[in-house]
Every structure is written in structure tokens, then in C-alpha cells.
Amino acid sequence: MNLGTQLVQRQSQRLVMTQDLRQSIELLAMSTLELSDKIQSELLENPLLEDLSSEEKAKTPELYSNSEVRSIEKSNYLKDTDGNWGDSYSMENPKVYDQEASDRNQKYIESSSVPESLSTHLLNQLRLLDLTEEELYIGEILVSLIDEKGFIEVGIPELCKEMNLDIKVVEKVRSNINHLDPIGIGASNIQDTLLIQSQIILPENKILHEIIKNHLTDLEKFDYKKIAKSMKLLEDEVMENARIIKRFEPFPATLYQGKKTDYIIPDVIIEHNGGDFSILINDEWLPKLAVNENYKSVLNEKVSVKDKEFVTTKLNSANWLIRSVNQRRQTLYKTVSAIIDAQREFFFNGVSHTEPLTLKDISEKTNLSESTVSRITTNKYIQTKWGIYELKWFFSSGVKNTEGGKASSKKIHDMILEMVKAEDETAPLSDQDIVEAMATKGIEIARRTVAKYRKILKILPSNQRKRISHYKG
């Protein structure tokens, strides 16, 4: 065996990803807001980049509340596009831009006050109590340990041992915190906070306290008969107390959220144009990039090698960014065009007409790789006449129908939801009933699939829905 060192030539193929290619791929997955931040950052760092729209009056995008994203209707904020990427869909001229309305909208958002945080809210209340300096110090520690649900999950004995605190004083301060607004805050878990709320609101109702202490698991299962038998009560008494517990808050911190509203800017706006659609890429408020010719001319002058290298690097970076932004826009337009082709019935008739769709389907239609389709549909939102949807929403698996084709899982979700909404509350539909109802509509679906979709939609089993109908109040 020859263990000596040798020089050997070997030919192989491998993918070498340049920095420009890596950054170009990253741009695809960015939302329009993230792209705006990226461009602004590059404008600050690269002197060869200039914003041609900087001298124009700044335009502000329309913003939509994240909580209203499903119900928002078509807006009048439309835009022109410089591209010409196909004949399937028309590109409209820009409508009149309502600068005053947009300015008012942005001014309202920017000037909206940030609500007081929960910890500040609690500490302000603590300082109004008759507490010693030590107790107030302990209160500040306990408030800092409250999580986003409103619980202190750290064990008090362990905390006292670690910080050398008197456990009796800590428990006293914690009790004070439990009685602050929102009540039940600082409890150790759901059962603890419900018990605290019941003792504060209804101190005389010992039955209520015992149900929460000893029968919460059975209560979650709506097993009123078992609770009634164990406590030697009438089932109606248990149901009455269950109605009371239903009004309590299991996660007290959710009653006090000190967060500003999140907003979504639709990246694409779809307009109906007779029997066709207009695709409008919502990016006219982004900076219009160009290369600064004054700096570029430095390359033709006698300058130091270091200066020339700097200008060349920044020039390449500027050209790359401009190309990448344009490429991202074209890729987004091409992908949305393919999604509309595949989901035409949805755009005309709504969610119940959604078709099965995969990344591979769009990849084949656009001649883009599946990874590119995945990236360009990430963090992107589309405004339709039915509301605003994430582009990823349009991709779903399918369920076989009796005609040999497939029905979209989104469509099945919608059908199950409508069936449950329309059911007789005293005799709710079982999973098997839904299977049989689907069969009459030409859709073959297994009972376990119905159960899976029902869990996704957060619909309780039929026996629990029936029990709930008995104590709605």
C-alpha cells in the first residue's frame, strides 16, 4: 500500500453559490415591507445607488389591520406597473392617488399611543398598596416573572431559596398581585387563576370553588353527571356553575395587551376586469433605484487603485440590487398569474370553489423551481374581492371525489364548517354523518380525515357540542 502524498487531478460538478446569488434568493422571500427596509439600508450604505423618487412627494402605502385581514374589501389604492410579462392579464394605468387620505392614515398609525405595558400597569397598582420597601421589591421580582399568559410558573420555594427571601412574605405579596387588575394575574396555572377569580368574585359559592379545585378535568370533558354524582348535587346545579366558570378568564394577561396593532400591506392586488383579472404589484411606494452617474464616472478618471476598487464594488452591488428587485417583481407576477389560472373559480366564486394546488403545479406552469415558488410565495399577501390571503394559502392537498378528480382540502374545510354552523344544536352531526353528507355531494372522505379537519378548524366532537348547547347562556 502506497501511503505517500500524491498530486491528483479530479473533475467534479458542484453548486457554488456566490454572495450575489445568495442575496438574490433572500430577496425573493422578503415581504414588500422587508424589501423596503433592505433598499433603504442599501441607499444609506452605497453612494452609487440613488432614489429617483426622492424628490417626489413621498407616497405611503395603505395599511390593513392584521385582525381584519380576512374581512377587508377591495380598496381603491391601485398602481401602474412598468413591466410587460405576458398577455394573459391586463395591466391598468394608475388611478388618482389620494395623498391626503394616505397621509391621514399614516399619521394616525404613527401617532397612535403605545398602551401601558402589563408590568407597568401592575407595578403602578402595587405602589398604591400599603407595602414595605421589602414587599415592593419582592412585588417587582414577581411581576417580572409573569409570562404572556399571566402566570408565574417559577416555584416559589425555589425562588425564595435562590434569592434568600422569606416565603411567607413572598406568598403575601403574590396574593396581593392576584387581587390586582386583571384579577387572577400571577397565578401558577389555569386552575389556580380560575379558583382565585371565583373566590374574589363569588366568595360565598363554595360549590363553585370545589368544582374548580377537584373536578376541572371532568368539567373540560363536560361530564356533569360524574361531577354531580361525586358532589351529591343535581346535574342542573353543576351546569349552572359551569356557566359561571365559562365567564372567567383562563389566561388573565390576555385581558391586558400592551401591543400596537400589526399591519399588513398586500403585495399584490387583484382587480376584476370583466371576465378577466388585472394583477397589480403593490410596490409603487418603493424607492425607484438607479445608478448615480456622477460616482460612476470616477472609473474613467485617474484615481487610486483603492478608490477604483471601492467604486467598482459598489457599482456591482448597485446593479445587482436593481436587477434583483426587478427579477423579484417579474417572478411574483408570473407566479400570481399561474395561481389565478389554477384557482380561477376561487377568484370568481369564493373559498368553496378552491382547487387542490401544489408547488409542483405552479413550478411546471412557470418553469421556475419549486424552491423559487416557495420563496416568492413566502410572507406575501394578495388582496382579492373575498379578502386578503397569504399566497401560501392557495396551496392545499386534495380529496378524491366520485368523478375521479380531487376536491381541495380548503374546500372541504369550508363545507364542514358550513355543515356544523347549520346543524341542529340538540342533535349535532357526528363525523360519520359528515362523511355521509359529503358522499351525497360526490366527495369520498374517510371518517378519520373528517376528525382531522375538524381539529384543524377547532370544532369540538359532536357529544361535546351537544353538551355545550345545554348550558349556553
Residue 60: is its pLDDT beyond 50?
no
Angle between helices 447-456 and 409-422 (to 10 degrees): 80
Assign 258 a pLDDT band (cuts: 50, 70, 90).
low
Please state the rounded mean pLDDT for residues 34-58.
79
Taking CA atoms, 357 is separated from 352, 398, 470, in Å, by 14, 8, 41
CB 186 within 8 A of CB 142: yes
CATH of domain 397-470: 1.10.10.60
pLDDT in tens, 436-462: 888 887 777 888 888 888 888 888 888
**Single pTM value for the model:** 0.54
CA 317 to chain centre: 33
What residues contact 319, with CB distance under 8 A and at least 6 apart?
291
| Least confident piece of the model among 30-44, 171-185, 282-296 | 282-296
Domain edges within the chain = 20-90+263-376, 118-255, 397-470
CA 178 to CA 185: how far, in whole Å? 5
Interval 62-71: pLDDT, tens: 555 444 444 4
- Using alpha carbons only, give the angle 415, 335, 38 rounded to the nearest 5 degrees: 115
pLDDT confidence of residue 98: 44
pLDDT class of 3 with cuts at 50, 70, 90: low
